[in-house]
């Protein structure tokens, strides 16, 4: 059966693929203007996809999420995260694993980490020197890495953690530009000819991370402390319906998934928030006023409930979707979405970017206006920085809490400025988008 896809982009598929890798935002802007908010692309070796920027269609997808294979659409992540990653699972295995990993990320449980998130931030920013330039994204990555290590392993200190803190960013930095990200998308570049080739080096670093994780698992096993509630302890204690424990390979893939998804994304969002706040002095002033009202040493949970701070984070997540398109949804059988009949094996890709920049929902979408989130409520298909349906981001509550506490801690203690007052673009970093150049900033004083 020939699968007729709607509004197909007619450029050669290799051209579409290069554009998609090099400039995913420009790609979506250009073709949505030409073909409308539901259009089909052919990305050569990666396949054909229907990109969807229509809230009604996305609502229909979220409601019928069980009619799609989603893990199968994430195969690009397999060489990095491993075949036992939650992101690659479907059906009952996905449901079971998600249920297992969820408890440490529940809002109530996260409250116990709130004070530690503030302390980690204070400790890292206390090393900043007045007048010394720094990259906001790298600084925020240090914070978010410490936080996720704490949640995944419990205590985060000792030599192994120091090694992990160096290795994880250096592994991920190997795909920090559109050119280097090509390795993720183009199988012919995935050649391991030893450590002097980029792919070989990436695999080597991943192996080193696995060795550290294995050592951590072995040490935890000797401790046998049943009262631990960190992610690793939960995985080690879990048994399936046949009484079987997870294998070490399964545990390591899952640990890597949480470490990867749990710190890159939040660090990027924090860098964007600092960038926008220091380009919009009125917004910064309003936020500082709100923070001052809490007085000295406020309770972290009070900070997390501040309405304007919440709106600042929401607006940052709107404008800078770190994952611009949610996980691909592959139709298991013929399905009707928004009046289109899609055949089995069609891959639908709801675009966060296209929806978050719709003029009809967000007037003047290129303006940073937190107020819009105080003035109206958006439905889960009009605003979905964390995706939706059965795959909604596992760590969304942690990400939001962390964004608020880190921003409040940094802004209450330091005066910062952007090194250059020029626009910064979103740039590809593997499967995510990040600020080009990392947001250079400088500390101008203490508060
Ligand atoms: C601001 C930060 C973050 C953003 C914007 C973000 C965004 C997303 C998005 C868009 C998805 C795909 C959802 C879908 O396809 O419907 C996702 C999935 C996921 N996220 Fe996040 N995320 C963030 C932080 C985190 C954190 C802190 C964790 C820590 C555990 C995390 C763990 C995951 C996992 C494990 C999945 C896969 C869920 C599944 O397959 O069931 N994320 N995230």
Measured CA distances, 291 to 187, 191, 306, 370, 410 (Å): 49, 51, 8, 16, 11
Whether 209 contacts 256, CB under 8 Å? yes
Q: Is residue 40 part of a domain?
A: yes
| Ligand 1 near 77 CB (within 6 A) | no
| Ligand 1 near 322 CB (within 6 A) | yes
| Ligand 1 near 388 CB (within 6 A) | yes
Q: Is residue 4 part of a domain?
A: no
| Ligand 1 near 255 CB (within 6 A) | no
Q: Which atom of ligand 1 is nearest to the CA of 86?
A: 40
What local confidence, expressed as pLDDT, does residue 227 receive?
67
Residue 162, classified by CB atoms within 10 Å of its CB into exposed (0-12), middle (13-18) or buried (19+), is exposed
| Ligand 1 near 266 CB (within 6 A) | yes
Those residues of the chain that have pLDDT short of 70 are 1-4, 155-156, 181, 224-227
Cα–Cα distance for residue pair 278/417, rounded to 1 Å: 6
Nearest Cα to Cα of residue 182 among 258, 253, 76, 265: 76
In order, the DSSP letters of 5-52 are -SSB--S-HHHHHHHHHH-HHHHHHHHHHHH-SEEEEE-GGG-EEEEE
What local confidence, expressed as pLDDT, does residue 155 receive?
67
Q: Which atom of ligand 1 is nearest to the CA of 400?
A: 1
Question: What distance in angstroms lies between residue 398's CA and the mean position of ligand 1's atoms?
Answer: 10
What local confidence, expressed as pLDDT, does residue 109 receive?
84
Crossing angle, helix 136-153 and helix 396-413, to 10 degrees?
A: 130
Question: What distance in angstroms lies between residue 400's CA and the mean position of ligand 1's atoms?
Answer: 12
What local confidence, expressed as pLDDT, does residue 181 receive?
67
Q: Is residue 8 part of a domain?
A: no
What local confidence, expressed as pLDDT, does residue 237 receive?
87
Domain count, the chain: 1
- Give SS3 for 251: helix
CATH number, position 172: 1.10.630.10
Ligand 1 atom 3: residue of nearest CA: 265
Which of 262, 383, 393 for mutating ligand 1's site (highest number of atoms within 8 Å of CB)? 393
Beta strands in 122-189 (DSSP E): 133-135
Q: Is residue 1 part of a domain?
A: no
What local confidence, expressed as pLDDT, does residue 168 receive?
86
Count of CB atoms situated within 10 Å of the CB of 434: 24
Cα–Cα distance for residue pair 8/25, rounded to 1 Å: 18
Report which DSSP code applies to 169: H
Whether 20 contacts 53, CB under 8 Å? no
Q: Is residue 157 part of a domain?
A: yes
- 81: its two tokens: 């995260």
Which of 144, 149, 394 for mutating ligand 1's site (highest number of atoms within 8 Å of CB)? 394
Q: Is residue 2 part of a domain?
A: no
What local confidence, expressed as pLDDT, does residue 211 receive?
93
| Ligand 1 near 262 CB (within 6 A) | yes
What local confidence, expressed as pLDDT, does residue 1 receive?
42
φ, ψ for residue 150 (rounded to 5)? -65, -45
Domain that includes residue 309, residue range: 13-446
Q: What residues are paired with 415 via a beta bridge? A: 445
């Amino acid at each position: 059966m020939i699968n007729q896809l709607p509004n197909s982009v007619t450029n050669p598929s290799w051209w579409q693929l290069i554009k998609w890798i090099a400039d995913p935002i420009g790609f979506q802007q250009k073709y949505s203007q030409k073909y409308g908010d539901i259009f089909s692309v052919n990305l050569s070796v990666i396949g054909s996809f229907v990109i969807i920027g229509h809230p009604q269609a996305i609502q229909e997808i979220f409601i019928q999420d069980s009619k799609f294979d989603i893990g199968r659409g994430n195969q690009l992540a397999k060489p990095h995260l491993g075949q036992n990653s939650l992101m690659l699972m479907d059906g009952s295995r996905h449901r079971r694993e998600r249920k297992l990993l969820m408890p440490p990320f529940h809002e109530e449980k996260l409250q116990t980490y709130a004070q530690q998130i503030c302390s980690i931030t204070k400790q890292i920013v206390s090393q900043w020197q007045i007048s010394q330039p720094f990259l906001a994204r790298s600084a925020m990555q240090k914070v978010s890495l410490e936080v996720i290590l704490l949640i995944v392993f419990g205590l985060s200190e000792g030599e192994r953690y120091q090694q992990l803190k160096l290795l994880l960013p250096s592994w991920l930095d190997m795909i920090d530009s559109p050119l280097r990200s090509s390795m993720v998308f183009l199988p012919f570049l995935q050649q391991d000819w030893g450590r002097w080739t980029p792919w070989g080096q990436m695999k080597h670093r991943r192996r080193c991370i696995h060795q550290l994780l294995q050592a951590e698992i072995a040490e935890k096993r000797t401790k046998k402390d049943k009262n631990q509630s960190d992610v690793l302890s939960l995985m080690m204690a879990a048994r399936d319906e046949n009484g079987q424990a997870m294998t070490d390979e399964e545990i390591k893939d899952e640990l890597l998934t949480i470490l990867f998804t749990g710190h890159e994304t939040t660090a990027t969002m924090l860098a964007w928030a600092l960038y926008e706040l220091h380009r919009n002095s009125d917004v910064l002033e309003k936020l500082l006023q709100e923070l001052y009202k809490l007085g000295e040493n406020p309770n972290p949970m009070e900070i997390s409930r501040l309405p304007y701070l919440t709106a600042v984070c929401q607006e940052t997540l709107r404008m800078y979707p770190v994952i611009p398109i949610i996980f691909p949804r592959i139709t298991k059988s013929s399905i009707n979405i928004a009046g289109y009949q899609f055949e089995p094996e069609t891959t639908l890709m709801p675009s966060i970017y296209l929806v978050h920049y719709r003029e009809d929902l967000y007037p003047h979408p290129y303006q940073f206006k937190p107020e819009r989130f105080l003035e109206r409520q958006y439905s889960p298909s009009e605003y979905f920085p964390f995706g939706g349906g059965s795959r909604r981001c596992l760590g969304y509550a942690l990400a939001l809490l962390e964004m608020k506490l880190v921003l409040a801690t940094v802004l209450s203690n330091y005066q910062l400025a952007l090194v250059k007052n020029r626009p910064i673009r979103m740039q590809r970093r593997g499967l995510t988008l990040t600020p080009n150049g990392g947001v250079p900033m400088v500390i101008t004083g203490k508060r």
